[in-house]
A = this chain, B = another copy of it.
Amino acid sequence: MASAEDDLIARYFRPLATHAGALGLIDDAAILAASGEDIVVTTDAIVEGVHFLPDDPPETLARKALRVNLSDLAAKGATPAGFVLTLALRDINEAWLAPFAQALGEDAAAFGCPLLGGDTVSTPGPLMISVTIFGKLPTGTMVRRDGAKPGDIIAVTGTIGDAALGLACLKGKKLLDDASACEALIARYRTPQPRNALAEAVRTHASAAMDISDGLAGDLAKLCAASKVSATVEASAIPLSDQARRILSSGTAGIEMLIAGGDDYEVLCTVPENRWAAFREAAGRVAVAVAGIGRVQKGNTAPVFLDVSGMPIAMKRLSYSHF
């Protein structure tokens, strides 16, 4: 009597619905109780052939779909509260669904972000995974894009550009003669590391923040535009992985590929100078690497990236666009 969709939900996704408000996924809706906090809502979808490759494994797809959304919550200063999942599938393939749901459940548990509900639809086209995520924070404390002030220090977490290099590796570009280095970059593309541990520090100290999904250069330009400011960035201060440094030295890729590529899912934020020491200390306590890379400037021009000699780096494009 139960439909194929009901079976699929019962078998694979009910175990992930650990939140009381999910009602075990037997209802049409979930309940999110809020006791005076603000609920932060954001949504991001990934599409086969656009945001991931057809042979990416189901485990990493599950993690990526959730983590690109967790990354938004981290940048907004919010604590994860739960998510709903829309899955567009060509068919019901147990060999794909079982590891997908398993990995999704592991991440949901690890990040304290339970499945609240969802919709599974049939599609004749590419696989698509859409997540809408909810976070909580004290009323009025969400860190917005539009609060950067001239003089603020521009900071990023982790290292920049690895995912773009990983994608280039997956597409067959010969960047390094070192298979394990390529594997490390591919892992950064397939499995982002959202910086949710940093959320409280961002909320406490940052004047503006967003996560980097379309490339540092383009996303900083968006933050500056929202804040009605400009910025200068010292390219040499941008934190890079060993692999990225070696690729830059070898000349198989340039800095533009790293800062205008996508999929970093690091936090980009601006911190007032008098908060910088406290921010760094708070980041240290949660073991998230942060680096100051430049300054917010007055003006309304696009951010300028300076090379070691202080000259602006010319870029053909600031960010990745799928259209």
Q: A residues within 8 Å of B by Cβ?
A: 1-6, 23, 26-47, 49-51, 72-73, 75-76, 78, 84, 86, 88, 91-92, 116-119, 121-126, 128, 130, 132, 134-135, 139, 142, 144-146, 210-211, 214, 218, 221-222, 225-226, 302, 318-319, 321-323
Contact = CB atoms under 8 A, between A and B. Distances in A.
A13 to B, nearest CB: 13
B32 A88 contact: no
A55 B117 CA distance: 30
B29 A72 contact: yes
Contacts of A130: 45, 86, 119, 130
Given A4-B323, A130-B130, 13 more contacts: A3-B218, A5-B322, A6-B222, A26-B226, A31-B38, A32-B34, A42-B84, A43-B86, A45-B119, A47-B121, A47-B123, A86-B132, A119-B130
A35 B36 contact: yes
8 contacts: A1-B221, A27-B145, A28-B210, A29-B76, A33-B38, A43-B84, A43-B86, A92-B323
B302 A1 contact: yes
A39 B47 contact: no
Given A84-B41, A125-B126, A323 B91 contact: yes
Contact of A124 (B5, B26, B125, B214): B125
Contact of A26 (B32, B78, B146): B146
Contact of A3 (B4, B118, B321): B321
A122 B47 contact: yes
Contact of A28 (B42, B49, B50, B218): B42
A31 to B, nearest CB: 5
A30 B49 contact: no
Contact of A119 (B27, B44, B75, B122): B44
